[in-house]
Amino acid sequence: MSFLTEFKQFALRGNVVDLAVAVVIGTAFSKIVSSMVDGIIMPLIGLMLGGINIADKSIKIGHAVVKWGMFLQTVIDFTLIAFAIFIAIKGINLLQKKQEEQPVPLTMEEKTLLEIRDLLQEKK
């Protein structure tokens, strides 16, 4: 099998395409959450702390500048993204569980086999 054929089989596998879609959606979702944190949550936190902008806060130690406000903002971004993913996966698992609980309709062949089984059990 040629290298190109192997690569084509790998790249067109369902899970690889699903992963690519997930990365694109995840990137867009991350931008939405970052925008929400930058534009809504951090200003509200700053307002509660006396009207300061937390993201711009830093400490200078010698020649190094420690941007603790930016770090706090990134931690909040991560927490919100992780929480949203948790909720989404929890919802998906709940839907899958409900689908598993629903009885699968029997085919005519299966119904016939069940009738034969029942008749054989009656004869015993």
* Cα–Cα distance measured from residue 22 to residue 42, given in angstroms and rounded to the nearest whole number: 27
DSSP, residue by residue, 85-102: HHHHHHHHHHHHHHHHHS
Question: For the chain, which residues make up each domain, given as ranges?
Answer: 3-116
Question: 71-103: per-residue pLDDT in tens?
Answer: 988 888 888 888 888 888 888 888 888 777 777
The CATH number for 3-116, chosen from 3.30.450.20, 3.90.1150.10, 1.10.1200.120, 2.40.50.100, is 1.10.1200.120
* Distance in angstroms (rounded) separating the CA atoms of residues 59 and 64: 8
- The string of pLDDT tens digits covering residues 33-72 is 888 888 888 888 888 888 888 778 899 999 999 999 889 8
pTM over 0.95: no
